[in-house]
Amino acid sequence: MTDRIREFLSARQPEGPCLVVDLDVVRDNYTTFANALPDTRVFYAVKANPAPQVLSLLADMGSCFDTASMPEIEMALAAGATPDRISFGNTIKKERDIERAWGMGVSLFAFDSEAELEKIARVAPGAKVFCRILCDGEGAEWPLSRKFGCVPDMAIELLERAWRLGLKPHGISFHVGSQQKNVHAYDDALAIVARIFRTLAERGIELKMVNMGGGFPTRYLRDVPAVKTYGEAIHTSLMNHFGNRLPETIIEPGRGMVGNAGVLQAEVVLIAKKSAEDRLRWVYLDIGKFGGLAETMDEAIRYPIETPRDGDALEPCILAGPTCDSADVLYEKNPYPLPISLEIGDKVLIAATGAYTSTYSAVAFNGFPPLQQFYI
Ligand SMILES: *Cc1c(COP(=O)(O)O)cnc(C)c1O
């Protein structure tokens, strides 16, 4: 929560829920990543927050971009990135989109299956490809599970196949799971990656690049290790597993780049109990799962909430959104302590909401408009 955001909100008094992102924080975050891993290129994961203001700022600072779709590629280009600074990192792409991206000059593509590799070979001959390997996501609060990646043995076979298909087998990627609080999670993956590099080298294929993905956490309610600590752990792992033949490396921070730059202002619409004996109050806000707080799914991400009555006695409550869908409850299994004195009409500030909020908001579910956004 920065003074600039507070000043903006008090001067502008926006009506309805809104996200305010302080671009100075994004700028600091980029510098922190660049300094923590000076030999590693940063590919910002566009999906975390694709606002043009964020993308232009990062493009100007020299960032590259990890994209998942044609519109994301177009947004990165519009922000000033050249095609050689864009990776088409989704392992699930339509063949015609691969063809279009290749036509626009994008030359780096992810895959994790034989069929995807064949698509790339057909429409982007000679492209650089990297294979994503499975990671268990252990230690992450928002694990990416088994949806992406293949086992290392399959990665070896497929990269060899890539070479035979006329593609450039460029490297390996992994993602240790988002909001990964264990700085050593990258080490296990890097050990596997180094083994794949060695095996392929024995077969005459020299991989060049390791894409270490995202996972760098944002501080919500608890402290998280500093980016510098991740940088040191990763550097040590690279030295241990690759010795003095270090590969080219890239990281793809999303949450860690923008999460702490945003604050969401919301309003208390209703405070109610379900019976005279009800222990817990229900507090309904004008934003919920469909307004941008989708990461409260399974209560995975627990946001810090500031109220105008902080300092008063607290009592846990069930926190819910305003829509007529019973799934639109933010915290119920683990009720959220809020001041007993909280009143209908109070404005609350939900911090660390710069990542994975704005684009998760529904277009008009129940008539509620998409989340308003301000970039300052
Ligand atoms: C979402 C995503 C990221 C960003 O992950 P964070 O945990 O937000 O840093 C990076 N790489 C890929 C391939 C992704 O899908």
- The pLDDT tens digits for 348-360 are 999 999 999 999 9
- Given this model, what pLDDT does residue 141 score? 72
- Given this model, what pLDDT does residue 138 score? 73
- Given this model, what pLDDT does residue 244 score? 87
Compute the average pLDDT of residues 70-96.
Answer: 98
Q: Tell me how far the alpha carbon of residue 46 lies from the centroid of ligand 1, in angstroms.
A: 9
Strand partners for 274: none
Tokens encoding 328:
């639109």
Tokens encoding 249:
């490396």
Ligand 1 atom with minimal separation from the 355 CA: 8
Which candidate, 376, 366, 342, places its Cα nearest to that of 291? 366
Residue 318 has pLDDT above 90, yes or no: yes
Q: Tell me how far the alpha carbon of residue 205 lies from the centroid of ligand 1, in angstroms.
A: 27
Q: Is 255 in the pocket of ligand 1 (CB under 6 A)?
A: yes
The percentage of the chain sitting over the pLDDT mark of 90, rounded to a whole number, equals 96
Residue 316 has pLDDT above 90, yes or no: yes
Taking CA 208 as the corner, what is the angle to CA 241 and CA 103, rounded to the nearest 5 degrees?
145
User: Given CA atoms 268, 274, 276, 281 in this order, what sign does their dihedral have?
Assistant: negative
The percentage of the chain sitting over the pLDDT mark of 70, rounded to a whole number, equals 98
Q: Tell me how far the alpha carbon of residue 150 lies from the centroid of ligand 1, in angstroms.
A: 17
Compute the average pLDDT of residues 335-344.
Answer: 98
Domain boundaries, the chain: 24-257, 260-375
Q: Is 175 in the pocket of ligand 1 (CB under 6 A)?
A: yes
Q: Is 254 in the pocket of ligand 1 (CB under 6 A)?
A: yes
260-375 sits in which CATH class? mainly beta
Hey, which of 42, 132, 135, 175 would you mutate to test ligand 1's pocket, going by the most ligand atoms within 8 Å of its Cβ? 175
Put residue 323 in one of left, alpha, beta given phi > 0 → left and psi -120 to 50 → alpha.
beta
Question: Is 23 within 8 Å of 261 (Cβ atoms)?
Answer: yes
Compute the average pLDDT of residues 112-116.
Answer: 98
Residue 144 has pLDDT above 70, yes or no: no
Structure pTM? 0.96
Residue 101 has pLDDT above 70, yes or no: yes
Q: How many angstroms separate the first and last alpha carbons of the chain? A: 13
Tens digits of residue pLDDT in 204-213: 999 999 999 9
- Given this model, what pLDDT does residue 135 score? 82
24-257 sits in which CATH class? alpha beta
Rounded to a whole number of angstroms, the CA Rg of the chain reads 22
- Given this model, what pLDDT does residue 374 score? 98
Tens digits of residue pLDDT in 258-288: 999 999 999 999 999 999 999 999 999 999 9
CA 178 from centre of chain: 7
Residue 95 has pLDDT above 70, yes or no: yes
Tens digits of residue pLDDT in 280-306: 999 999 999 999 999 999 999 999 999
Q: Is 213 in the pocket of ligand 1 (CB under 6 A)?
A: yes
Q: How confident is the model at residue 136 (pLDDT cuts 50, 70, 90)?
A: confident
Residue 143 has pLDDT above 70, yes or no: no
Q: Tell me how far the alpha carbon of residue 282 lies from the centroid of ligand 1, in angstroms.
A: 34
Residues annotated as part of the active site:
324
Q: How confident is the model at residue 330 (pLDDT cuts 50, 70, 90)?
A: very high
Tens digits of residue pLDDT in 200-242: 999 999 999 999 999 999 999 999 999 999 999 999 999 999 9
Compute the average pLDDT of residues 41-50.
Answer: 98
Q: Is 354 in the pocket of ligand 1 (CB under 6 A)?
A: no
Question: Is 174 within 8 Å of 135 (Cβ atoms)?
Answer: yes
Strands 329-339 and 347-351: unpaired
Q: Is 253 in the pocket of ligand 1 (CB under 6 A)?
A: yes
Distance CA(131)–CA(91), nearest Å, equals 9
- Given this model, what pLDDT does residue 1 score? 82
